[in-house]
Structure formats: structure tokens, C-alpha cells
């Protein structure tokens, strides 16, 4: 945990890791509080109608023990992979805790995945059991015969011929469980990368990953936990951002975590939830913040109790940063990490660590730098790859059954991220773009994030993606794909106006020379724009 200091420099200098020789995520997020304060509220489930449901730490501990006993009786043991195909709900948290206590490996998966995406991940991980709901069970049925490792499906919506009843297992199982002895490097979870640039890979993490996240959670949330803190995120708990930025750290710190289910992010529903549930600390990805910004009049329509907002997953941008200060009276604390090594850069307005357009400074306990292709640190102002030095408690163990990809992730002791960035003279890191996303035009290397940020500042633009389109003279030109706000009609005059908007605000080499209007923006389950789809589309237009 971070011990508060008056300056960032003192905070970074004085921090030391304390990683025990034995550590189990399941006991740390349930049994610890259950033994001290069994009635303390762990989870609050939002209901649009009526009062929310509450789950105490005592209940979380007992129910996870019962489920762990039931899973063990069904043949699930240490090292077995158990997938969770569920939304934000009590059962998801109970299942995670049970899996960790078993010494098994949790494989969180998003319900939004289609059948092919699910089959790929379940086969790759060799999943032995799946905990899901009725909708997830229906997706599994047509591929069940091809999932050779899968033996058991547990459904929170009751039993059928293909699934056993989650709540019957919990009701029938004893409330005491002998937790497997696990060390910090023993595997706890496998989180698949989002697949923005290629096939998803299973990033395997040890139990220490939770401890490794704690400073990176406390920094953007300005020394969480504070009295009255209450956490929520619209991010799926199947994503590292939802699971490891919010759910598990919240439970570890004894901060109530709000659950709420959205098939798609809805700005009005999100605002209503935050108001009704008196959310104090929110992790809201940049795309969702831009949608809130586009909705307009947030402060006038809702009484929010927010103390902190953290944001990450892609570049936030100046437009959204400035909007939050003006509209919400809050400085968004931007942070950065990857599925493989999360929350290693952060902002913290309470310490004066905040800069529009930057993704923060290294979180205490982490060594982050800009390096070249040989792993040599680059001076400030010079573009290179964002890298994290090992050993690091938050860093992944390996890509599941993919030693070649694991080896390629490192240059010496630097774990490379595939993200281009620049460090300024004060140590702030500025995100430039994914290696594959950087646009090369007339000798300039252009990051798409700044262009997209500028585009969403236009009063008619809701969402935007910028990619490089092959060009015989310039190598590439910038092409923008635009989702317009409701009620705005696309036309050539508007396209020219949007292009000029960027040219006047950025530069003559960064503005989009082509603008195309689209009905929707392809997003990963984590809310990131899948630029690859538009990049491939632009290449097809040129026949390349």
C-alpha cells in the first residue's frame, strides 16, 4: 500500500514492495475481512427498480468456500482452468474467489464474445469447467462437443441437461474450505489480450498480480481507501481493467464495489447508476468518457458524489481532460498498463501529478522508460517504445503455451509494450500509438490518438478513428472514420469542415485528407477502438 507523502518524488523514493512467501487472492479478498468484520459490505448490486442487493464479506467467504468444495467434488483441482462467462454480479465475485482458493486458474471471458471467439479461448486455455448464465450456456451448446477438455458447466440460472445449478452447489456445499497453499508466483488467472493487433494470447498471472496492482489503484484514486469510498466501473469484470483495477482491489481494501449490468455503455444509464449508488470512485475508459461528453449537460442533470475518476485503456486526450475539469469539477487521473503488466504509469492530481495529454508518471514500485529496439533507454523528447523493467510483481508469468511469443515480448530485462511514446523533461510519458497504429506520412510519424481527440472536439462528432491509408507519394495519408452525433446528417460539406477543424487545431500534416462517415465504431470488449478493421478497409480501397 502507498503511504501518503507530500510529493510524488518522496512517494516514489520511499515505496518498497512487501510480497509474502505465501499469498492467495481468494483469502485476501474475502476471508481477511470476514474474520474481522463479517457484516462489512463487499458488493452492492444496482437494480434499476427498487433497492440494491448487498453481499457481505461473511457471505462472500462462506459462499466461495461452498462453491470451492463443490468444484473440487466435480473434479476441479489445482492448476485446472475454470472460465467465467458472466456479467458484473455477485456470482462472478463468488466464483473468482472459489477458483483462487482451489489453486485453480480463473479464465474470465466476456459474454459479448461470439461463438467462434469463445471456442478459440476455451480451446486455447484447455478449460475444464465453465461458470456462466443461461445466455452463456446457450452459446456453449453448439461447440460443446468440440471442447475436449470441458467437463462441467455451472449455470447461475439453474440446471439443464448440459449444466449444473450454481446456487444448489453453494447451498449443498459446506461453508468451510481448506484453501490450497499458494505462493505469489503460482498461477491464479489467465486473461486474454484484447486482440486489437492479432490473435488474442492468454497472459498467465500469478497470485502476486493483485498486490502488484495496489499502488497503481491507489495513485489515480488519490490514496484509496478514504472514508465513504465506493467503487464502480462500466468495464466488464472479464477485462483486466474491470477485474484488477476495480473488483479485486476494492475487495482487498474493504471498499464496497458496485455491480451493474450494461450490454452496451449507455451514458444516461451510467450517470443514473452513479447518482443512485453514490459512487465515489469510478474507472471509466476514455471511449465511455467521450460518450458522456457527447451526451452534454451532465452536471446539470445529475447530482454526482464523485471523488476520483481514473481512466485508461487508450489515450484520453486533451479535449476530454478539459471537459471533465469544466463539467465535473474533477481532474481525470489517467493511467496506463497492459493485460501483461497493468497500472505502471499514473496521474494523481492530489500530488500535482497531472498533465493534459500525458498518461502519467511511473507508479511507485515500477521502472518504466522509453527504449529503442535494442532496449537502450532514450533521452526525453525522443520517441521510442514504452517498456517496463523486470522483475515486477504486476508482470505476467508467460503467454499460455506460447514460449516464442513470451520471449519476443522482452528485450533484455525490458518488457516491451508495442506502444510508442515520448518522455518529457519532467518524466511524464506521452502515448503516441500502437506500433501498428502509427501513421507514416511524408516523412512524419503520426499518432492517431491526438487526431481522434481533436475530431471528437468537433460539435457534430461522437466517435472517431484515424488510420493510415496507403498513398503512392506520401506513403500514407490520414483517413478518419466518423460516427456523428444523433440528429446530424452526413454530407460532403461537413466532411470538409471536420477536416479543416483538425488542420487549424493541429497541423497541416496531421489533418485527415479523407473523411468517411460510419454508423458505428468497432470496439473491443474493453472499449478500445479496433483500428485494425478500418486500417484493413482503407488498404482494400487502394488495392493493397
pLDDT tens per residue, range 58-88: 999 999 999 999 999 999 999 999 999 999 9
In a domain, 331, yes or no: no
Residue 451 confidence class, pLDDT cut points 50, 70, 90: confident
216 in a structural domain:
no
Contact 130, 150 (CB under 8 A): yes
| 8 A C-beta contact, residue 105 and residue 79 | yes
Contact (Cβ atoms closer than 8 angstroms) between residue 253 and residue 225: yes
Bridge partners of residue 54, in order along the sequence: 44
Output the pLDDT for position 198. Answer: 54
Phi, psi torsion values for 281, nearest 5 degrees: -135, 120
191: in domain: yes
Counting beta carbons within 10 angstroms of the beta carbon of residue 455, is it exposed (0 to 12), middle (13 to 18) or buried (19 or more)? buried
Q: Is the pLDDT of residue 169 over 90?
A: yes
**What is the domain-level CATH number for residue 117?**
3.40.50.12780
DSSP state of 456: T
On whether residue 519 sits in a domain, the answer given is yes
For 79, other C-beta atoms within 10 Å of its C-beta total: 13
**pTM, rounded to two decimals:** 0.85
Within a domain: 269: no
The answer to whether position 324 is within a domain reads no
Residues 6+ apart with CB under 8 A from 495: 515, 516, 517
User: H-helix or E-strand containing 155?
Assistant: strand 152-155
Q: 158, 184, 206: which is the final residue of a domain?
A: 206
State the residue for C-alpha cell 497504429.
437
The number of domains in the chain is 2
Tell me if residue 105 falls in helix, strand or coil. strand
In a domain, 326, yes or no: no
Per-residue pLDDT reduced to its tens digit, 260-305: 987 778 888 999 999 999 999 999 988 889 888 888 778 778 899 9
Q: What is the pLDDT of residues 87-134, one digit of tens each?
A: 999 999 999 999 999 999 999 999 988 888 899 999 999 999 999 999
CATH of the domain at 447: 3.30.300.30
CB atoms near residue 373 (< 10 Å): 9
- The residue among 180, 206, 232 that closes a domain is 206
CB 490 within 8 A of CB 461: no
Whole-number pLDDT of residue 431: 84
Identify the residue with better confidence: 518 or 198: 518
pLDDT score recorded for residue 435: 66
Structural domain including 441 reads: 436-542
Rounded mean pLDDT, 410-439: 88
Please say which residue of 166, 181, 206 terminates a domain. Answer: 206
Is position 285 within any domain? no
Q: Which residues of 497-528 are buried (b: 16+ CB within 10 A; e: fewer)?
A: ebbebbbebbeeebbbeebbbbeebebbbbbb
- 297-335 tens-digit pLDDT: 787 788 999 999 999 977 788 888 999 999 999 999 999
- The beta strands (E) that lie in 339-474 are given as 341-346, 361-362, 368-371, 384-389, 398-399, 410-411, 414-423, 429-434, 439-441, 444-446, 461-471
- For residue 369, the model assigns a pLDDT of 97
Is the pLDDT reported for residue 512 higher than 90?
A: yes
Amino acid at each position: 500500500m502507498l503511504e501518503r507523502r507530500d510529493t510524488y518524488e518522496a512517494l516514489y523514493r520511499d515505496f518498497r514492495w512487501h510480497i509474502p512467501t505465501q499469498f492467495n487472492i481468494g483469502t485476501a479478498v474475502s476471508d481477511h475481512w470476514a474474520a474481522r468484520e463479517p457484516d462489512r459490505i463487499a458488493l452492492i448490486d444496482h437494480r434499476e427498480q427498487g433497492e440494491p442487493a448487498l453481499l457481505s464479506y461473511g457471505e462472500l467467504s462462506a459462499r466461495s468456500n461452498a462453491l470451492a468444495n463443490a468444484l473440487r467434488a466435480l473434479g476441479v483441482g489445482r492448476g485446472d482452468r475454470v472460465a467465467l462467462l458472466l456479467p458484473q454480479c455477485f456470482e462472478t465475485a463468488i466464483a473468482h474467489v472459489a477458483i483462487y482458493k482451489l489453486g485453480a486458474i480463473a479464465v474470465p471471458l466476456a459474454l459479448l464474445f461470439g461463438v467462434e471467439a469463445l471456442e478459440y479461448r476455451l480451446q486455447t486455455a484447455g478449460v475444464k469447467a465453465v461458470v456462466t448464465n443461461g445466455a452463456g450456456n446457450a452459446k456453449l451448446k453448439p461447440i460443446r462437443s468440440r471442447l475436449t477438455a470441458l467437463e462441467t458447466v455451472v449455470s447461475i440460472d439453474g440446471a439443464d441437461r448440459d449444466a449444473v445449478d450454481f446456487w444448489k452447489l453453494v447451498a449443498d456445499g459446506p461453508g468451510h474450505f481448506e484453501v490450497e497453499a499458494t505462493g505469489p508466483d503460482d498461477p491464479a488467472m489467465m486473461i486474454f489480450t484484447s486482440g486489437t493487433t492479432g490473435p488474442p494470447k492468454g497472459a498467465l498471472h500469478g497470485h502476486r498480480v493483485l498486490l502488484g496492482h495496489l499502488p497503481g489503484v491507489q495513485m489515480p484514486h488519490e490514496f484509496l481507501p478514504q472514508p465513504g469510498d465506493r467503487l464502480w466501473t462500466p468495464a466488464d469484470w472479464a477485462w483486466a481493467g474491470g477485474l484488477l483495477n476495480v473488483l479485486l482491489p476494492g475487495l482487498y481494501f474493504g471498499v464496497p464495489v458496485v455491480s451493474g449490468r450494461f450490454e452496451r455503455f449507455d451514458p444516461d444509464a451510467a450517470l443514473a447508476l452513479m447518482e443512485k449508488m453514490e459512487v465515489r470512485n469510478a474507472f471509466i475508459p476514455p471511449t465511455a468518457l467521450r460518450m458522456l461528453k457527447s451526451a452534454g449537460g451532465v452536471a446539470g442533470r445529475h447530482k454526482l458524489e464523485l471523488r476520483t475518476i481514473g481512466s485508461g485503456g487508450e489515450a484520453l486526450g486533451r479535449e476530454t481532460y478539459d471537459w471533465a475539469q469544466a463539467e465535473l469539477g474533477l481532474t481525470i487521473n489517467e493511467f496506463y498498463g497492459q493485460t501483461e503488466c497493468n497500472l505502471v504509469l499514473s496521474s494523481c492530481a492530489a500530488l500535482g501529478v497531472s498533465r493534459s495529454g500525458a498518461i502519467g508518471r511511473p507508479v511507485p514500485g515500477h521502472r518504466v522508460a522509453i527504449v529503442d529496439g535494442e532496449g537502450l533507454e532514450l533521452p526525453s523528447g525522443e520517441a521510442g517504445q514504452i517498456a517496463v523493467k523486470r522483475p515486477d510483481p504486476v508482470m505476467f508469468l508467460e503467454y499460455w503455451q506460447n514460449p516464442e511469443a513470451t520471449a519476443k515480448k522482452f528485450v533484455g530485462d525490458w518488457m516491451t509494450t508495442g506502444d510508442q511514446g515520448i518522455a518529457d523533461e519532467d518524466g511524464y510519458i506521452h502515448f503516441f500509438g500502437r506500433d501498428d497504429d502509427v501513421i507514416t506520412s511524408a516523412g512524419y510519424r503520426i499518432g492517431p490518438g491526438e487526431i481522434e481527440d481533436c475530431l471528437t472536439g468537433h460539435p457534430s462528432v461522437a466517435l472517431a478513428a484515424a488510420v493510415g491509408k496507403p498513398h503512392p507519394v506520401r506513403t500514407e495519408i490520414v483517413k478518419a472514420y466518423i460516427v456523428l452525433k444523433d440528429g446530424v446528417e452526413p454530407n460532403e460539406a461537413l466532411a470538409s469542415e471536420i477536416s479543416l477543424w483538425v488542420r487549424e487545431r493541429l497541423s497541416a500534416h496531421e489533418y485527415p485528407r479523407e473523411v468517411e462517415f460510419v454508423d458505428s465504431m468497432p470496439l473491443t470488449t474493453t472499449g478500445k477502438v479496433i483500428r485494425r478493421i478500418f486500417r484493413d478497409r482503407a488498404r482494400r480501397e487502394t488495392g493493397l
